[in-house]
Structure 1
Amino acid sequence: MTGLILAIASLLFVLATWKRWLKTALRQAVPDRLVGFALSMTAGLGLAIAAFFSEPGVIGGSLAAVAAFMSLFWLLATAAGKQKTGAPKIVVGQPLPAYTALNEDGSSFDSQSLAGAPYLLKFFRGHW
């Protein structure tokens, strides 16, 4: 019975951490240091491992396995996908770096053509 309780606690702990992580990620407010999330996932993994050693039965073992997979997946994906953060390349008020790009009609556009005129430069990061 103790193994089943540990397995349920592990799964609930990992699901709560995932929920908090997804809310943070969808708001695009992920902190630079992920120590809190990593400790939470590690604690959930530890509970799952403890459940395995406490003879959780089939249901408890399944719940512990799901919790262990979810926490390990998050830990490995986060470690492998570390995004670099640094100073922005373009800052409001500074001169625009020279570049050329294609317009929507396929013609070439040169940023030097904007010299001396006010303009709004908008970047779009797609989520597809």
Structure 2
Amino acid sequence: MTAAVDLWRAALARLPPGALVGSGAFADTGIDAPVWLALTRVSECTLALADADLVAERAAGHPGNEHALLLATQMVAHRARTWRDAAVRRHARTLLDAAVGPACDSPLRCAGGKVGGAGQRW
């Protein structure tokens, strides 16, 4: 897997942003999750990411990882408008629910009772 990660990093360094739309296919690889999440997120391909549903599914298993949260947010905010969108949204919801936890079942509670407060998590 080291060679695959090195190749991916080299491609990111040399190719223009968005050139790695096929990187979603790497969701099924054995690359360690933290490395895979970071590389997938910086690949800047969320608008046309191949296998977006698989990417969202794998990211959903890592609610404590900042790259997973940002990746899911990007995928929902900039969805590709394909038949995979429903699965992407479902996995992103699972991820975000797990990250927020049961104590934050409402935006006001997460914000400490202040909409737009410093403790805002939504």
TM bin (shorter chain): 0.3 to 0.5
- Higher RCO (Cα < 8 Å, 6 or more apart): 1
Q: Which has the larger radius of gyration?
A: 1
More helix by share: 2
* TM-score for both structures, normalised by structure 1: 0.34
* TM-score for both structures, normalised by structure 2: 0.35
